[in-house]
Chain A
Amino acid sequence: MKIVDRFTLWFLGVTLLIIPINSYITYNSIKKEIDKAAVERLKHVNARAAEQLARGEAVGEFMQGCRIKATPSDSTMPADFFLITDRDVKHDPDLEDYDRKITVASWHQISGVSYKIISGDYVTRSEQILAGLRVSIFWKLIILIGLVVLTARLASRLVLAPFYNTLKKLQHFNLRSRKKLEFKPTRTKEFNELNCFVGKMTDKAVDDYISLKEFSENASHELQTPLAIIRSKLELMSEYNIEGEEAVLISDMQNAVDKLTRINKSLVLLARLENNEYESQETLNFSRFVRESVNTFCDLVTLKGLTMEYRIEENVDVKLHAALVDILLNNLVGNAIRHNYPGGHISVELTAGKLVISNTGHEPQEPVEEMFRRFRKGAGCQNSVGIGLSIVKQICDMNGFTINYRFQAGHHIITVDFPPASVSSKLLQNDARSLHEKTQL
């Protein structure tokens, strides 16, 4: 729910609560005022009647539109005493309309005779007042809700503009672009605080990201030379007449250096992929590369006693950096050979827009989602670094390919879907765009 809707609802709730209370107060005060006016008028009428009587004139049945009656009375009351009664009467049975009648009685001493003067009048009944109020409340509500609904969006667009601006900037914010966020100052205190806060946080994130990147890049590069030294010295060492246990020691060291080298190279490659250093502008003939890769691995397939079949459609063009094609294919086909058993089978199928590699193998013991994470390896692959598939995944992500794995009927099946060549390869940007559209006002 949007902020503006929440505020509108809150406002309407308060309005709905206030209106009955308000009408009750209005109703009461109107009724009171009407009664008061009627009583005042009747008092005045009584006084006039008393004057008339004092002048010796008789008092008629009506005076000033009010029914009046003056009778001599036995009792005497003080001059300023009035008896006020009100009752609902059925004035006219034919009209079947009820009315409210107010009567005022007063006592006067006129020429030594005590008179009781009673006057009465019909006043507006409470139901009638309520009916009037209802109509006015109804119109009031309609106008209020209409105006609130109509203007709330406009107002929120004006008032919340800096907020939405910040939101939009945050959605477009990408650590990899390493650009800091800049906000326009606003007159709203909270938004200024928010911007200040968000600005500080993103600046920190960017700084951290840059230093982390620099660290991992430097570390990787600086490691290369010492690794080269160790490797070269070990190789020189093995040229001497080394025998027995010493040879095994050297061999173990060589293995470790080799593994370290591979980890390092893979991490550097991943970092480069994340830096978008391998962005491709051109399409290349993927069919040719797949065929080459399949041929490269022919020997290994035979050595491991596997059979391989492939169906490669001609001239499948894919937008991918040439340096990454081999890495992608070698990792996928290599895995298909490695996670296989003697006498197993591999099939490679390339059609326009899709590469499917499936191979026989044992059921994976780890959750499938874990497969593409770094340094995850299946059972029985102690020699592997466990980074191949995460490189493959990264390559796919960066180029807008979707990669899927499933295990089905004793086969590991990896599917890579290529987007149509016309579609931009920037997945990230697409995401940002759709997010942005969702938050438009």
Chain B
Amino acid sequence: MKVLLIEDNVELASSISAFLAREGYICEISYNIRDAQDKLISFQYDCVLLDIMLPDGNGLEILRFMRQEKLQSSILILSAKNSLDDKIIGLEEGADDYLTKPFHMPELNARLRAIYRRKTLNGSNIIAFNEITLNIDTFEAWVNGTQLDMTRKEFDLLMYFMVNRNRVLSRQSIAAHLWGDYTDNLSNFDFVYQHVKNIRKKISAASGTDYIGTVYGLGYKFHTSRQ
């Protein structure tokens, strides 16, 4: 997947592109609107990561520009301004999703994957890895042909793991993914631990491989190499 990252902060841009590169994305960076417009016209991207506040104008201009030029790339807005207006306008102007800074990298990855699935893979609703299959429309999880009895949150969490294979997922990142931004009172990570434990138990019960492991001190990881 080819991604254009439009972000004026060099440090953040390098972090994001490093992360995306590890995921196997091809990532190019523009630090301002003019450069972004040049790149958008010259090359084709599957997805555009767009910062709203740019040195030479508002990122929303890019949205309008892309619509004018009839560019088909998916757009994910990354904004430091946690403003509802920006979000609504952004989505109305044709953006596919909206993420507020500071975000967790695995979250960015999950959102990117979701957008990509919706648009490029013509809405394929199946995520599969070896014996585990998820249907993201019906929220059903199958292991070796057995359907798992999962709650909605457990399903979300398993999907988060499946999308971020071989990535360390911190407890903070998982909590934010499951319960959103304003989960001040849910920062008790016992809940995360409980959820992960339940998923592992359920997969094992269906004779699936226990791919999910604890990374000491840091969180959890979905190990694709486990047998």
> Which A residues have a C-beta under 8 Å from some C-beta of B?
221, 224-225, 227-233, 235-236, 238-239, 242-244, 247-248, 250-251, 254-255, 257-259, 261-262, 265-266, 268-269, 272, 277-278, 295-296, 298-300, 303-304, 323, 326-327, 330-331, 334-335, 337-338, 383-385, 387-388, 391
Contact = CB atoms under 8 A, between A and B. Distances in A.
A2 B216 CA distance: 74
Interface string B101-112: 111111000000
B154 A299 contact: yes
Contact of B18 (A236, A259, A266): A236
Interface stretch (B119-127, B140-148, B185-193): B185-193
Given A257-B172, A277-B83, A384-B187, 16 more contacts: A224-B100, A224-B101, A228-B80, A229-B11, A229-B15, A230-B102, A232-B19, A238-B219, A250-B218, A299-B195, A303-B191, A330-B179, A331-B182, A334-B184, A384-B184, A388-B185
A410 B139 CA distance: 39
Contacts of A298: 151
A228 B172 contact: no
A228 B103 contact: yes
Contacts of B152: 295, 299
Task: Give the 8 A-B CB pairs with smallest separation, nearest first.
Answer: A247-B217, A228-B102, A232-B15, A334-B185, A224-B80, A227-B102, A228-B101, A258-B172
Interface residues of B, number: 49
Contacts of A387: 184
Among A251, A295, A337, the most chain B Cβ lie within 10 Å of the Cβ of A251
B106 A235 contact: yes
Contacts of A250: 217-218
B102 A247 contact: no
B215 interface: yes
Interface in B23-41: none
Nearest to B10: A229
Contacts of A331: 182, 184-185
A221 B52 CA distance: 12
A330 B180 CA distance: 10
B22 interface: yes
A277 B84 CA distance: 9
B170 interface: yes
A243 B84 contact: no
Contacts of A251: 170, 217-219
B168 to A, nearest CB: 5
B188 to A, nearest CB: 6
Contacts of A236: 15, 18-19, 105
Contacts of B188: 338, 383
A257 B171 CA distance: 13
Interface in B194-227: 194-195, 215-219
Nearest to B186: A334
Interface string B153-170: 110000000000001101
B189 to A, nearest CB: 8
A229 B9 contact: yes
A231 B185 contact: no
Contacts of A221: 80-81
Contacts of A255: 172
Contacts of B167: 239
B12 A225 contact: yes
Contacts of B151: 298-299
B153 A299 contact: yes
A232 B16 contact: yes
Nearest to B80: A224
Given A224-B80, A299-B154, A262 B184 contact: yes
B43 to A, nearest CB: 25
Nearest to B15: A232
A254 B194 CA distance: 20
Nearest to A331: B185
B162 to A, nearest CB: 18
B181 A235 contact: no
B185 A384 contact: yes
Contacts of A330: 179-180, 182-183, 185
A248 B218 CA distance: 7
Nearest to A231: B102
Contacts of A272: 83
B101 A225 contact: yes
A300 B151 CA distance: 11
B11 to A, nearest CB: 5
A327 B181 CA distance: 9
Given A265-B82, A300-B191, A385 B184 contact: yes
B168 A227 contact: no
Nearest to A332: B185
Contacts of A243: 216
Nearest to A239: B168
B215 A265 contact: no
Contacts of B218: 238, 242, 247, 250-251, 254
Given A236-B18, A262-B184, A330-B180, A225 B9 contact: yes
Given A229-B9, A254-B170, A265-B181, A300 B186 contact: yes
Contacts of A238: 168, 170, 215, 218-219
Contacts of B168: 235, 238-239
B87 to A, nearest CB: 9
A296 B182 CA distance: 14
B55 to A, nearest CB: 13
Given A239-B22, A331-B182, A388-B184, A229 B12 contact: yes
Given A238-B218, A334-B183, A224 B102 contact: yes
A235 B9 contact: no
